[in-house]
């Protein structure tokens, strides 16, 4: 395909999706994109609409509409409690002029580092996942903030969650690199991916005791490493991060995971308690987040000061510095960034980036990369 046609065709795809779906991109299975899932021994199964869980925010309410012109957000316009650290100025980046809204989190003062994101516009909330920073990996518990999209207030905050996974003593989630909200079906809940485990939480129980929100968990075996995740139809994709080479994504059937007694994901032999992937594929290097969007799977990548959004056809766009989790919703593209986290802002010389930014999708897809990964 002629290179200049790709951005134009993707813009047309966005318009067609919005027109057909009343402003919400379809989360259903799509043709396998470059870097997306590929068949592993058999064709990839896709569930029918009647059996597939809903993985997009409900459109029964009034979702947050992108304004006619999203022209950027000034420091004083960022919703939520501004951090006590940093210079009190926002960093400039190539797509900041397309921001419709932005949010701080009060928990940033207590070393919260954002990593993942799930948005439910019908409920008016965003779930921002991450961890509390520590010098070593071990004591970095997963944390989740429930953010009010209208005011920026944190409705609930889960500082740690755990379960008895390996023995009687509880094991708590660490890092929390991936997240997706499944709004209906047997797999309904807030799915959270960490390096060695996969969790499903009850969103309504967030803010309670460490055990309260946990509905189910799975251990991940040798060769599996979770850095980001995505739910597409009846499949759960577990993807790895690599700084130098393309990572890998393994796809598991949600129906397999939800069977009674299943507690393990494995690349080895399947058993009553362990399930194998139904497909696998490659993902871009420096992967930070995955989302279902127009035409298939989209990826956020960042590293070395360069952040990019990568489309299903491999075309690249400018993005928010330190981009992590992302989600399409109507005309908007939400993304969370770790660039403004306290461990990465030292002194007053480095300007800040809000924890959560809502961008106008069409404007982002009209850009070309201004940096190289």
Q: Over its length of 373 residues, how does the chain's per-residue pLDDT go in tens digits?
A: 544 445 454 544 444 444 444 443 433 333 333 333 333 333 333 333 334 566 644 333 344 554 556 999 999 999 999 999 988 999 999 999 999 999 999 999 999 999 999 999 999 999 999 999 999 888 999 999 999 999 999 999 999 999 999 999 999 999 999 999 999 999 999 999 999 999 999 999 999 999 999 999 999 999 999 999 999 999 999 999 999 999 999 999 999 999 999 999 999 999 999 999 999 999 999 999 999 999 999 999 999 889 999 999 999 999 999 999 999 999 999 999 999 999 998 765 578 999 999 999 999 999 999 999 9
E-state strands within 177-284: 178-182, 189-193, 197-201, 214-220, 228-232, 235-239, 247-253, 264-265, 274-275, 279-283
Indicate whether this model's pTM tops 0.95: no
Q: How many degrees, rounded to 5, is the angle at CA 131 between CA 129 and CA 132? A: 140
Residue 289: closest CA among 356, 249, 230: 230
Determine the distance from the C-alpha atom of residue 210 to the mean position of all C-alpha atoms in its chain, rounded to a whole number. Answer: 22
Q: Where are the chain's structural domains?
A: 5-25+68-364
From CA 156, how far away is CA 115, in angstroms rounded?
17
Per the structure block, which two tokens stand in for 306?
């360069």
Strand order in the sheet with 306-310: 287-293, 296-303, 306-310, 316-318
Per the structure block, which two tokens stand in for 196?
């060695």
Strands 247-253 and 235-239: antiparallel
Residue 187: closest CA among 98, 55, 304: 55
E-state strands within 59-111: 99-103
Q: State the distance between the two ends of the chain, measured CA to CA, in whole angstroms.
A: 23
Q: Which fold has domain 5-25+68-364?
A: Neuraminidase (2.120.10)
Per the structure block, which two tokens stand in for 114?
């954002």
Per the structure block, which two tokens stand in for 44?
């990839």
């Amino acid at each position: 395909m002629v290179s200049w046609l790709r951005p134009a065709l993707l813009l047309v795809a966005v318009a067609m999706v919005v027109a057909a779906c009343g402003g919400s991109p379809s989360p259903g299975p799509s043709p396998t994109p470059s870097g997306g899932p590929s068949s592993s021994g058999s064709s990839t199964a896709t569930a029918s609409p009647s059996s597939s869980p809903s993985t997009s925010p409900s459109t029964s309410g009034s979702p947050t509409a992108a304004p006619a012109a999203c022209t950027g957000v000034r420091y004083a316009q960022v919703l939520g409690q501004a951090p006590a650290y940093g210079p009190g100025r926002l960093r400039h980046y190539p797509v900041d002029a397309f921001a419709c809204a932005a949010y701080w989190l009060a928990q940033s003062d207590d070393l919260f580092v954002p990593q993942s994101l799930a948005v439910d516009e019908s409920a008016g909330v965003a779930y921002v996942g991450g961890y509390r920073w520590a010098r070593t990996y071990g004591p970095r518990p997963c944390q989740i903030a429930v953010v009010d999209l209208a005011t920026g207030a944190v409705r609930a905050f889960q500082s740690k969650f755990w379960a008895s996974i390996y023995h009687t003593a509880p094991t708590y989630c660490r890092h929390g690199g991936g997240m997706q909200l499944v709004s209906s079906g047997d797999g309904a809940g807030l799915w959270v991916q960490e390096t060695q485990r996969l969790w499903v939480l009850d969103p309504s129980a967030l803010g309670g005791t460490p055990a309260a929100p946990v509905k189910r968990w799975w251990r991940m075996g040798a060769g599996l490493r979770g850095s980001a995740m995505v739910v597409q139809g009846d499949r759960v994709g577990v993807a790895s991060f690599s700084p130098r080479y393309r990572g890998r994504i393994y796809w598991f059937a949600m129906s397999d995971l939800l069977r009674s007694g299943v507690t393990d994901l494995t690349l080895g032999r399947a058993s009553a308690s362990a399930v194998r992937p139904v497909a696998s594929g490659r993902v871009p290097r420096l992967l930070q987040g995955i989302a279902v969007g127009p035409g298939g799977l989209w990826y956020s990548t960042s590293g070395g000061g360069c952040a990019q959004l990568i489309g299903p056809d491999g075309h690249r766009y400018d993005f928010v510095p330190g981009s992590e989790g992302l989600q399409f919703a109507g005309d908007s593209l939400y993304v969370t960034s770790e660039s403004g986290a306290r461990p990465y802002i030292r002194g007053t010389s480095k300007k800040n980036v809000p924890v959560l930014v809502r961008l106008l999708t069409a404007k982002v897809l009209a850009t070309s990369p201004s940096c190289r990964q």
